[in-house]
Structure formats: structure tokens, C-alpha cells
């Protein structure tokens, strides 16, 4: 078995795990100003407070894993996407500390709430721009990035940035529908309704624009056997969207979130089909960027043993905080 | 100055700035996590409530420090690629897996159990909660293990070959790389430093409240515990530091020459320069106060042992002497002040006056932040002392930098400076605000815990039902 393929799969799974898990808590940040000051905001924050740090660790896993398994790709992509990545990191600083700081400083809670919102929005947008810039192609010469500092900026990358903001916001609304009740849950349902068609339009726009970028995408999707996937994919997304829509109207509270996750998973599979087997589309394949066999093997032993353990205790942590988050009396349990 | 040189200096400034800021938080949270585990363990064992009060008191501070450590740490995991892409490409096959193991064995462990530790006391029961606290503490230590292994490999690289693409690749077993020659020493010295830093911070807070006249069991207990640490661990740290220095002399002698300010070789016994003003142009230390032959005695255990100086090293291979000459002395001076504090506290304890001697408390208060200063000074010594290499003797820092234009690096540096100073200053103020209030009997838990879940009886009801 080719270790390089296994490592490409592990990193793809880490990135997918990041998008699915940090996606909903960034989404709650994006929606944050829409919630009423006081109990609604407190409950929205509490719905993710115990798990956000674990969710964000998958981002470190994606970055660290890329350095370890595909160092050449890491060395080319990060300078190429310098501005959006630095913006993302700084935005994550603001939103990460806001989880603690807003409780510690009631006098400036409005400021930290804004930092939480703006940090979440900028981080999400920067991640979307990063994806778009990667898809549209980056200049590589002699094992290094050779383009300019604004190459990442294009209509397409702004489109992917905006699309991800819409997508994460929908995930966040879905999480709140599942984890809260009362006025906050009703608000989350209300926000989710227009976000769903907006996400479909954004996905359609990105999907239609991608094949017209330079490179392999047209071949990949519109020439047999790509058509085998290209035809049913939109139908599957529409089906999942229908289930989200139904879930918003009735049925168990977890349904909108779960089906939004499925829309994300389908989109992610589409991306994988577009890019495979490159790590930098059209430039560097996974085999060209791969670390030597001994590095991959050493890490694989750890990954095979540890990733199931990690998934186990992460699931346990989610299980501990299962059920609805209360929206009353945060001071209740400590003060007695 | 050529644009490339400017970009290099800005990239170095950015890494130095972001890693120094980041290092402060783990230095605190490694020690604090273990302290919390000890406090919770003592509470479970003895059933004495003031341990629980102290646990909750420091956990609130830990939550803030940990959050700042997380967000500044994520920045570090991307700095290697954004600003040091050539280093990432060349050294990635060796240090990448070490960092991947750090994520797999430490970061997930900490993050996975942190939520339960902060918010889960009433959800999972005492035993499981204690397990979560220990898991977080263990995670902070494992994290130090891997990142210091990676750093030590850059200081004392072994176990690799260089492939056709110019990359460092593993030559044989990974044990050679992980347990490279400087790693055991650096790990012991750094982890003890983290414990001491935390102990000094705890004693500083306790001393503040003692000076304000608070003699509660909570305050007395934390002062006493921290003073035991200072008295017992400071001497151990001085010994560990000496061992680390001897290891450095063996593997990175140029770094030691710069630390000592030895521009000239001394064929029959080198002096220990206590203070002076190093001048790299004139290759001398002005106004030096020195003790003859003591340096040879410390480093070689022989008064007349010859010691080579920087005059044996090509100019382009020398580190900047001024910075590390001073950072090293600051670290050592603080180490001995910690020892003095520990010994003084022993004397006070023997006389039964540990919680009475106000000058001891004043000294402890002043020493409260000293651990952070010492940690940064030590880090500067070892990192700047490795220059001009990023991988000692094999890859120069100037050859490892990303192909970035100076304005891009400069703009991001300015952004990091503004954001870090404002955000982390706010966090520090919040920590000081919490520390300014003394721990109370029935110290409240973090007041923003999600409190109710389906199928679980609210904590309040449990307590009222008891």
C-alpha cells in the first residue's frame, strides 16, 4: 500500500474534520450580533465553550500534518497564501480569547462580543479565500512559490470566501437548533431559512466557475467518466438541502445540522475529485511533495494508534455535554 | 541594505516576537496544570475544602492563560511555513513528524479534556473529573517533550542524511533523532523552569494577600506550597542548568564562548566574567569584572584547563555576543535569587514565622514575575546562541527564510505586535484582577459553565438534596 496515498487521506480527513467541527462554532460567531444581548448570547456561547478548543486542534493537525507528510507543499502554499493566512491567524486570536474575556470583563463585554463576531467572520472568509486561491492555481518555480503577493485575490477567491461564510453560518444555526431551546432556538431557525438557499446559490456559482479556471477541472468533470459524478452530485446536494428545509419545519432538532453536514461532506468530496492526485492543483502531486518513507511510516504508527483514541475521548467530551444548553442562571452552580 | 536582508531581519523579528509571547503562556500553564492536579488530588485525598477553593481559584486563571497559549500556539504552527518555508521544505521530514506527534499526543489530549476540566465537575463525578485534570496536565508535559525534541534537534542535529533535493531525511532509527544529544538536558531544564515560574507566580499572589493581612488557610496553604517548591526545586534547577551548560560546551562550544564573553582563547585557565560590556567590533569586554580561572573550573572542573575563544571561529559563524552575554546573566541572577528566596523561606519555616515575616513576603511579591523573565532570558540565550544557524552547522538562518518581500513581512509583523500587545495585555489584566482578589471559602467555579443537560440533574439540586 502506498503510504503517500494514506497520508493524503489522513490529511484530507483532518481538514474535513476541521471544517465540519470548527465550522459550526465559527458559524455561531458569524451569527453572534444577531442574537439578543444577555441570555441568548450567553447560551449561544455556552453551546460551544467546552468543545471549541478541541475543534480548532484539527486545524493544527492539518497544518502540522502537511508539514510532516508533504513538507514541500507546506513550504509552497503558506508563502503563496501569506496575507489570508496571517489574517486568519490574527482573527482566531481575537475569537479564541473572547471565549474567556467576555465573562471576565462585563464592562467591555460588547467589545469582546464584537471581537468574537469579527474574528469568526474574518477567519472564515480567509479560509474560503485560501481554498479559492489554491483552486485557481499558484505559481511554482524551483521548489518555491514564485508568484506575487496579491495573486490570491480574485473574483473567484472572494466568491469562495463568501460561500464559506454562508456555509458556516448555516452550520452554526443548525448546531443551535440542536443544542438550545426557546427564543434562541426560534431565532436560529429563522436565520437558517434564508441561509439555505443562499448556500445553494453559492455552491452552484463555485461549481460552475471552477471548470473555467485553468487546469484539469474541465477534463475532470465534463469528460467521461467524470460525468458519472458530475451529474448526480448536484442532485445529491439538492436532496440534502431538501432534508435541511424539512428539518427546519418539523422533526427532531438534530436534523437541520446533520443534513447541513452532509451538504458539506458532498462538497468536500467534489473538491477531492477536482484536486486528486495533486496537493497543489496542477503543479505538485502528492508524490512529488511527499516526505520520505521513513517519516511517513514513523507517523503512521502514531496516527493509527492515536487517532481512534482521540476520536474516542473527543466523542466522550461531546457526550458529557450532550443535550440542551440551559439559558438561565450561569451563576447558579458555583455560588451555592 | 538589500531588500532581502530587510525581509530576513523582519522575519527573524516576527518569529522572535511571536515565539517569545507564546512561550510565556505554556511556561505558566505547564506548571499550573500540574499544580491544579496536585490541589485536586489533595482535596480528594484529605477532603479539606480549602484545597478545592484553591483549585477553583487557580483554574479560572488557568483558563485565561491556556486560551492565550492556544491562540498564540496556532500562530506558531503556521509561522514555519509562512516565514520560513525553505526551512520547512528542508527540515520538514525530520521535525514535521515530531510536531505531528505533539498534536496527536498532546494538543488533542489537552483540548479534549479541558472542557470537562473547566465545566464538567458536576457532570462526570469527582474521579473522572480528576482524571480529566490529570490528562490536561499530562498533555502540557507531552507537548513540551515533543517541541523541545524538535528544537533540540535544530541545536544538535543527528540521525539524518541529506537527500538529492537538499532535504534532511531520517538516516536510521527515530530514537536517535528524538533523543538527540541536547534534548534530555533541555527538557529537564525547561520543564523545571515552568514549574518554578508557576511556583513563583503563586507565591507572589499569596504574598500580596499576606501583606494585605489575609491569613486564611487558603492563602497560607498556597504560600507554603510555593515556598517548598522554591526551596527544593531552585537548587535542582541550578544543578540542571549547569549540566545543560556542560552539554552545550560539548556540542555547541561557540554558544558558550558568547555566553561567557570569551573573545580570546585562554590557554591556561579562563576567567569568569561576572559583568562587563561586550564589544564585538573591538573583540573585547569593556569594564569587565572577572574572577581569574573560575570559568575553566566551572566548565572543565580544572583551574588551568585551556578554553578556546571566539578568535578560533570565523566571523560569519559567530552569534551576536551582546544579547546572549546579558540574557544569560539575567537568567543566572534570577536563578540564584530564587534560591535565596527558597532558603529564606526555610529559615522562616523553621522559626515558625513563614506567614509572619513581612520582608520575606515583600521579596516573594517582587519575585512573582521573575520566572517569566528567566524563562524568556534562557530561551533567548539558547536560540540567539545558535545563530547564524537555524540547524546548527548545517543550514544558515538566512538560507531558510521564505521568498517574501520585505513589505509583506513588515506589515504582518506590525499587525502581530498591535494585536498581541492589546489582546494579551487585556488577558494579563484579567489575570491580575482575579489574582487581586483572595481565594474565598466556597470559591465559586467558573461562572459561565453550561449548567444543564438532558438527563442530568442540575448541580444545584444535587447539592440541596444532600
pLDDT 10s digits, A55-69: 888 898 888 889 999
Q: What is the DSSP string of B15-40?
A: HHHHHHHHHHHHHHHHHHHHHHHHHH
Which of the residues B25, B73, B87, B97 would you substitute to probe the A interface, choosing the one with the greatest number of A C-beta atoms within 10 Å?
A: B97
When mean pLDDT is compared across B82-96, B141-155, B165-179, B452-466, the lowest value belongs to B452-466
B353 has a chain A CB within 8 A of its CB: no
Mind telling me how many Å the CA of B450 is from chain A's nearest CA?
A: 5
8 Å CB contact of B405 and A149: yes
- Residues of chain B with C-beta less than 8 angstroms from the C-beta of A51: 115
Cβ atoms of B182 and B155 within 8 Å: the answer is yes
Domains of chain A: which residue ranges? 3-205+274-320
B101 has a chain A CB within 8 A of its CB: yes
* pLDDT over threshold 70, residue A71: yes
Distance CA A327, CA A41 (A): 9
HSE toward the beta carbon, residue B411, CA cutoff 13 A: 11
* pLDDT over threshold 90, residue B185: yes
B463 has a chain A CB within 8 A of its CB: yes
B393 has a chain A CB within 8 A of its CB: no
Q: List the beta bridge partners of residue B290.
A: B273
Q: 3-class SS at B72?
A: helix
Residue from the list A298, A313, A333 with its beta carbon closest to the beta carbon of B449: A333
B459 has a chain A CB within 8 A of its CB: yes
Q: A195: which 3 cell numbers?
A: 441561509
Mind telling me how many Å the CA of B409 is from chain A's nearest CA?
A: 9
Comparing A88 with B454, the larger pLDDT belongs to: A88
Helices A82-104, A71-80: inter-axial angle, 10-degree rounding? 80
When mean pLDDT is compared across A146-150, A217-221, B283-287, B393-397, the lowest value belongs to A217-221
pLDDT score at A335: 31
Domains of chain B: which residue ranges? 3-265+308-465
Give me the mean pLDDT over the A299-308 stretch: 91
pLDDT score at B137: 95
* pLDDT over threshold 80, residue B452: no
8 Å CB contact of B115 and A53: yes
Helix (H) / strand (E) element for B255: namely helix B253-260
The model's pLDDT over A172-207, given as tens digits with 9 standing for 90+, comes to 999 999 998 888 999 999 999 999 999 999 999 998
Residues in CB range of A330: below 8 A, 6 or more apart:
A42, A46, B447, B448, B449, B451
Nearest CA in chain A to B406: A149
* pLDDT over threshold 50, residue B199: yes
pLDDT score at A207: 87
- Residues of chain B with C-beta less than 8 angstroms from the C-beta of A85: 78, 82
B17 has a chain A CB within 8 A of its CB: no
The model's pLDDT over B210-220, given as tens digits with 9 standing for 90+, comes to 999 999 999 99
- Residues of chain A with C-beta less than 8 angstroms from the C-beta of B101: 299, 302
Residue from the list B77, B86, B115 with its beta carbon closest to the beta carbon of A60: B77
8 Å CB contact of B94 and A295: yes
What does the DSSP 8-state code read for residue B107? I
CB contacts < 8 A, A to B, total 287
Q: What is the DSSP string of B409-451?
A: HHHHHHHHHHHHHHHHHHHHHHHHHHHHSPP-TTPPPPTT---
The model's pLDDT over A17-54, given as tens digits with 9 standing for 90+, comes to 999 999 999 999 999 999 988 888 988 888 888 888 88
B432 has a chain A CB within 8 A of its CB: no
Distance CA B65, CA B424 (A): 9
- Residues of chain A with C-beta less than 8 angstroms from the C-beta of B72: 93
Mind telling me how many Å the CA of A39 is from chain B's nearest CA?
A: 11
The model's pLDDT over A1-12, given as tens digits with 9 standing for 90+, comes to 588 999 999 999
Residue from the list A85, A97, A333 with its beta carbon closest to the beta carbon of B78: A85
Q: B449: which 3 cell numbers?
A: 459553565
Mean residue pLDDT of chain B comes to 89
- Confidence class of residue B446 from pLDDT cuts 50, 70 and 90? low
Mind telling me how many Å the CA of B205 is from chain A's nearest CA?
A: 18
Distance CA A74, CA A63 (A): 8
Cβ atoms of B68 and A47 within 8 Å: the answer is no
Cβ atoms of B196 and B233 within 8 Å: the answer is yes
Which of the residues B4, B33, B90, B100 would you substitute to probe the A interface, choosing the one with the greatest number of A C-beta atoms within 10 Å?
A: B100
Which of the residues A89, A149, A185, A303 would you substitute to probe the B interface, choosing the one with the greatest number of B C-beta atoms within 10 Å?
A: A89
- Residues of chain B with C-beta less than 8 angstroms from the C-beta of A104: 64, 430, 433-434
8 Å CB contact of B460 and A332: yes
Amino acid at each position: 500500500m502506498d503510504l503517500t496515498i494514506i497520508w493524503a487521506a489522513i490529511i484530507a480527513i483532518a481538514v474535513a474534520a476541521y471544517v465540519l467541527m470548527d465550522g459550526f462554532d465559527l458559524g455561531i460567531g458569524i451569527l453572534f450580533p444577531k442574537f439578543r444581548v444577555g441570555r441568548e448570547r450567553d447560551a449561544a456561547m455556552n453551546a460551544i465553550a467546552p468543545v471549541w478548543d478541541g475543534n480548532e486542534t484539527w486545524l493544527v493537525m492539518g497544518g502540522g500534518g502537511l508539514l510532516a507528510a508533504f513538507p514541500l507543499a507546506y513550504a509552497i502554499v503558506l508563502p503563496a497564501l501569506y496575507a489570508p493566512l496571517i489574517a486568519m491567524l490574527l482573527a482566531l486570536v481575537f475569537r479564541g480569547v473572547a471565549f474567556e474575556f467576555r465573562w471576565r470583563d462585563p464592562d467591555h463585554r460588547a467589545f469582546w462580543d464584537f471581537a468574537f463576531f469579527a474574528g469568526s467572520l474574518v477567519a472564515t472568509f480567509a479560509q474560503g479565500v485560501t481554498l479559492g486561491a489554491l483552486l485557481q492555481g499558484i505559481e511554482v518555480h524551483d521548489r518555491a512559490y514564485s508568484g506575487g503577493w496579491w495573486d490570491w485575490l480574485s473574483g473567484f477567491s472572494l466568491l469562495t470566501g463568501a460561500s464559506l461564510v454562508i456555509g458556516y453560518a448555516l452550520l452554526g444555526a443548525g448546531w443551535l437548533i440542536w443544542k438550545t431551546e426557546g427564543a434562541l432556538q426560534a431565532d436560529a431557525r429563522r436565520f437558517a431559512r434564508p441561509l439555505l438557499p443562499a448556500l445553494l446559490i453559492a455552491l452552484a456559482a463555485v461549481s460552475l466557475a471552477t471548470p473555467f479556471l485553468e487546469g484539469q477541472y474541465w477534463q475532470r468533470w465534463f469528460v467521461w467518466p467524470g460525468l458519472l459524478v458530475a451529474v448526480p452530485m448536484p442532485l445529491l446536494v439538492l436532496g440534502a438541502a431538501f432534508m435541511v428545509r424539512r428539518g427546519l419545519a418539523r422533526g427532531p432538532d438534530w436534523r437541520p445540522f446533520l443534513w447541513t453536514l452532509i451538504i458539506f461532506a458532498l462538497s468536500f468530496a467534489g473538491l477531492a475529485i477536482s484536486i486528486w492526485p495533486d496537493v497543489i492543483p496542477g503543479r505538485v502531486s502528492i508524490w512529488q511533495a511527499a516526505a520520505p518513507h521513513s517519516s511517513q511510516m514513523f507517523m503512521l504508527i502514531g496516527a493509527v494508534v492515536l487517532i481512534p483514541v482521540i476520536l474516542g475521548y473527543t466523542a466522550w467530551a461531546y457526550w458529557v455535554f450532550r443535550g440542551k444548553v440551559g439559558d438561565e442562571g450561569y451563576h447558579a452552580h458555583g455560588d451555592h | 541594505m538589500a531588500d532581502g536582508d530587510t525581509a530576513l531581519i523582519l522575519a527573524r523579528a516576527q518569529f522572535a516576537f511571536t515565539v517569545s509571547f507564546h512561550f510565556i503562556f505554556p511556561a505558566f500553564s505547564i506548571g499550573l496544570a500540574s499544580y491544579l492536579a496536585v490541589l485536586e488530588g489533595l482535596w480528594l485525598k484529605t477532603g479539606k475544602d480549602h484545597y478545592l477553593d484553591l483549585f477553583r481559584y487557580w483554574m479560572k486563571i488557568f483558563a485565561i492563560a491556556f486560551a492565550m497559549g492556544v491562540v498564540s500556539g496556532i500562530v506558531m504552527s503556521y509561522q514555519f511555513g509562512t516565514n520560513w518555508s525553505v526551512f520547512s521544505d528542508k527540515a520538514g521530514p525530520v521535525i514535521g513528524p515530531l510536531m505531528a506527534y505533539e498534536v496527536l499526543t498532546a494538543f488533542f489530549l489537552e483540548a479534549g479534556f479541558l472542557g470537562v476540566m473547566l465545566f464538567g465537575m458536576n457532570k462526570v463525578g469527582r474521579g473522572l473529573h480528576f482524571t480529566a485534570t490529570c490528562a490536561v496536565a499530562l498533555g502540557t508535559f507531552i507537548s513540551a517533550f515533543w517541541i523541545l525534541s524538535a528544537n533540540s534537534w535544530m541545536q544538535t542535529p543527528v540521525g539524518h542524511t541529506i537527500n538529492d533535493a537538499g532535504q534532511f531525511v531520517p538516516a536510521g532509527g527515530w530514537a536517535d533523532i528524538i533523543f538527540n544529544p541536547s534534548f534530555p538536558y533541555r527538557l529537564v531544564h525547561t520543564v523545571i523552569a515552568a514549574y518554578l515560574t508557576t511556583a513563583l507566580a503563586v507565591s507572589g499572589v499569596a504574598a500580596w494577600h499576606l501583606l494585605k493581612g489575609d491569613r486564611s488557610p487558603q492563602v497560607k496553604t498556597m504560600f507554603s506550597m510555593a515556598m517548598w517548591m522554591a526551596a527544593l526545586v531552585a537548587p535542582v534547577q541550578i544543578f540542571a542548568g549547569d549540566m545543560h551548560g556542560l552539554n552545550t560546551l560539548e556540542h555547541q562550544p561557540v554558544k558558550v564562548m558568547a555566553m561567557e564573553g570569551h573573545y580570546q582563547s585562554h590557554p591556561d585557565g579562563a576567567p569568569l566574567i561576572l559583568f562587563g560590556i561586550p564589544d564585538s567590533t573591538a573583540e573585547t569586554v569593556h569594564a569587565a569584572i572577572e574572577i581569574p580561572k573560575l570559568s575553566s573550573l566551572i566548565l572543565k572542573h580544572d583551574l588551568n584547563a585551556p578554553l578556546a575563544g571566539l578568535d578560533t571561529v570565523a566571523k560569519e559563524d559567530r552569534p551576536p555576543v551582546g544579547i546572549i552575554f546579558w540574557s544569560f546573566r539575567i537568567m543566572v541572577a534570577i536563578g540564584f535569587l530564587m534560591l535565596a528566596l527558597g532558603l529564606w523561606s526555610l529559615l522562616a519555616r523553621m522559626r515558625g514565622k513563614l506567614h509572619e515575616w513581612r520582608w520575606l513576603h515583600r521579596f516573594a511579591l517582587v519575585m512573582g514575575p521573575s520566572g517569566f523573565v528567566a524563562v524568556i532570558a534562557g530561551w533567548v540565550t539558547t536560540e540567539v546562541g545558535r545563530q547564524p544557524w537555524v540547524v546548527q552547522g548545517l543550514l544558515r538562518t538566512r538560507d531558510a527564510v521564505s521568498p517574501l518581500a520585505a513589505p509583506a513581512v513588515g506589515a504582518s509583523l506590525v499587525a502581530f505586535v498591535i494585536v498581541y500587545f492589546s489582546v494579551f495585555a487585556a488577558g494579563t489584566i484579567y489575570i491580575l484582577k482575579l489574582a487581586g482578589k483572595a481565594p474565598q471559602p466556597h470559591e465559586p467555579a467558573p461562572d459561565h459553565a453550561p449548567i444543564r443537560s438532558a438527563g442530568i440533574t442540575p448541580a444545584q439540586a444535587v447539592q440541596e438534596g444532600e
